[in-house]
């Protein structure tokens, strides 16, 4: 594939064009002065092996992403030099109506990834984009800007997904998602898994559990080589957040799952956060600073939908009661226990309070609704890695929804590898209390839900009447169609994660009517 624009085909570029690259400052900010700039013309392999992506659409801006990786599973295979990467964005898929173009530096410090924050675009329209380095050209990606603030749009379609353990099976769900009619994809975490290779798994991780920056880079590269995942990245803009496996299973803030020292885990978290930034279409505002990365943010689509994208790992207090399924201990009732940290919680409440949107979406990781996993009389078991382990923090959120009444709050959730629909109650222990919102929990792309858990959960449903739906057998994603009067969530399920040509069906559909809190079966 070649660029149509003849000027862009030139291997030389003038100083003005070079500075037109909106992402140039990103590269400049972190590029070491000791690395030469080299307009490399030959590579050991195809440099765009990890595809292209876009994300975080604003009315006038979108982030374009790629990473130069001619040897993706060998640290990328790039020499320690700064490489100019040309980009352009057009109104048409043939790239003939180019509206902007420029050059950005791919630096060794960021794994030769590039993040181009293109500004000055038209609101609420599709664009196509492409990269070029030396004589090599990327595939063409498609993206869409958000509708202008306060503009009236009549519909918005998005899908959300999570939990894509490479070793469990194939990304057939993404093959089908790529064919959907979507304006946005939201990924709610566990984009990679940190575990070492498992003999006998359908697909293999390479090497032991990942710790170093090189480890994390190679693991992301492995996942990004999947053609179906690349197709969804290329077809739609994404909004991403993480859960635990991007670093370490069930970590909380600087508390690891394993017996690492604080210093060792800080290094590991810094490595994981940097690799995450390098492989996601995020703005410079999310550039990691040592072992911290600002990920919570807000995306608005006209006056129809506003997404509050949360980070419930980096700032949370430790899981209470020793983690796992168990009765609640005193620590689960601690007013100081937090999922989000005080600053992010205040940011969320301010945004919800001021939002002009018809639908107010809280995109986050672990199940918000209470669920008693043991239906036996007198015994209650809760998953304390979820919000059930942070009872007072959840109560503050539910009280806010009840008292301040933001328009149509809907929570979207991943993590638990199964499908759920909940009415969010002001008091889950009193089913006559007010319904203050709706939660849609999506299953995984591939990660397992233990078969042995399905029957006990089904048996417990009678003791959790706010739970309207549960399925643990199928993998897939949730497709959401929003209009001004109706939200519809379709639970899309693949027939198998072990077959690359598996079929897909809609397992169930639920709707929320404007002004009528709670979900109904469609």
Do 6-144 and 155-521 fold alike per CATH? Answer: no
Distances (CA, A) of 38 to 78, 82, 107, 166, 418: 11, 6, 11, 35, 48
pTM of the model: 0.94
Please provide the DSSP assignment of 460-484 as one string.
Answer: HGGG-TTEEEEE-S--EEEEEEEES
Tens digits of residue pLDDT in 186-200: 999 999 999 999 999
| Domain boundaries, given as residue ranges, for the chain | 6-144, 155-521
In the chain, count of helices (H) and strands (E)? 10, 24
Summarised one tens digit per residue, pLDDT across range 227-263 is: 999 999 999 999 999 999 999 999 999 999 988 999 9
Superfamily of domain 6-144: Purple acid phosphatase-like, N-terminal (2.60.40.380)
| Cβ contact 423:465 at 8 Å | no
Which structure tokens are listed for 282?
């995020």
Question: CA nearest 224: which of 271, 168, 275?
Answer: 275
pLDDT band at 7 (very low <50, low <70, confident <90, very high): very low
| Confidence (pLDDT) at 22 | 40
The topology (CATH level 3) of 155-521 is: Purple Acid Phosphatase; chain A, domain 2 (3.60.21)
pLDDT digits (tens, 9 = 90+) for 94-145: 999 999 999 999 999 999 999 999 999 999 999 999 999 999 999 999 999 9
Cβ(161)–Cβ(188) below 8 Å: yes
Is residue 166 over pLDDT 90? yes
């Amino acid at each position: 594939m070649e660029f149509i624009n003849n000027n862009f085909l030139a291997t030389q570029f003038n100083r003005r064009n070079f500075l037109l690259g909106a992402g140039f400052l990103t590269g400049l900010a972190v590029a070491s002065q000791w690395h030469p700039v080299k307009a490399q013309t030959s590579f050991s392999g195809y440099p765009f092996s990890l595809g292209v992506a876009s994300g975080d659409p604003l009315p006038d801006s979108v982030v374009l992403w790629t990473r130069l990786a001619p040897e993706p599973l060998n640290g990328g295979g790039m020499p320690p030099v700064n490489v100019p990467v040309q980009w352009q964005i057009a109104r048409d898929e043939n790239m003939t109506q180019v509206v902007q173009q420029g050059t950005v530096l791919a630096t060794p410090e960021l794994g030769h990834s590039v993040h181009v924050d293109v500004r000055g675009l038209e609101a609420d329209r599709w664009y196509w984009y492409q990269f070029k380095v030396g004589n090599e050209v990327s595939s063409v990606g498609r993206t869409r800007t958000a509708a202008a603030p306060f503009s009236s749009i009549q519909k918005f379609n998005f899908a959300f997904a999570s939990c894509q353990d490479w070793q469990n099976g194939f990304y057939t769900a993404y093959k089908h998602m790529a064919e959907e009619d979507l304006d946005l994809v939201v990924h709610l975490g566990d984009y990679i898994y940190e575990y070492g290779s498992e003999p006998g798994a359908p697909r293999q991780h390479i090497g032991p559990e990942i710790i170093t920056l090189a480890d994390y880079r190679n693991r992301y590269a492995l996942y990004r080589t999947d053609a179906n995942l690349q197709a969804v990245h290329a077809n739609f803009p994404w909004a991403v957040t993480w859960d635990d496996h991007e670093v370490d299973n069930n970590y909380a803030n600087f508390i690891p799952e394993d017996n690492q020292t604080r210093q060792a885990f800080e290094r590991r978290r810094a490595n994981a956060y940097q690799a995450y930034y390098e492989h996601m279409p995020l703005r410079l505002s999310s550039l990691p600073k040592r072992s911290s990365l600002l990920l919570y943010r807000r995306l608005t689509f006209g006056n129809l939908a506003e997404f509050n994208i949360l980070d419930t790992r980096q700032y949370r207090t430790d899981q209470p009661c020793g983690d796992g399924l168990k009765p609640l201990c005193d620590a689960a009732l601690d007013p100081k226990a937090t999922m989000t940290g005080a600053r992010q919680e205040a940011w969320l409440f301010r945004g919800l309070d001021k939002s002009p949107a018809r639908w107010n979406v809280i995109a986050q990781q672990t199940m918000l609704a209470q669920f008693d996993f043991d239906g036996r009389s007198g015994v209650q078991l809760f998953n304390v890695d979820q919000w059930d382990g942070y009872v007072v923090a959840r109560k503050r959120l539910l009280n806010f929804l009840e008292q301040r009444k933001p328009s149509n709050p809907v929570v979207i959730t991943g993590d638990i590898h199964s499908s759920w629909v909940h009415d969010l109650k002001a008091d889950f222990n009193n089913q006559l209390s007010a319904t203050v919102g709706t939660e849609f929990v999506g299953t995984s792309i591939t990660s397992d839900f233990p078969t042995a858990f399905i029957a006990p959960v089904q048996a417990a449903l009678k003791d959790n009447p706010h739970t309207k739906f549960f399925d643990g057998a199928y993998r897939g994603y949730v497709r959401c169609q929003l209009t001004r009067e109706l939200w519809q969530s379709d639970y899309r399920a693949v027939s198998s994660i072990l077959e690359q040509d598996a079929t897909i069906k809609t397992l169930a559909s639920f709707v929320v009517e404007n002004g009528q809190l709670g979900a109904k079966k469609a």
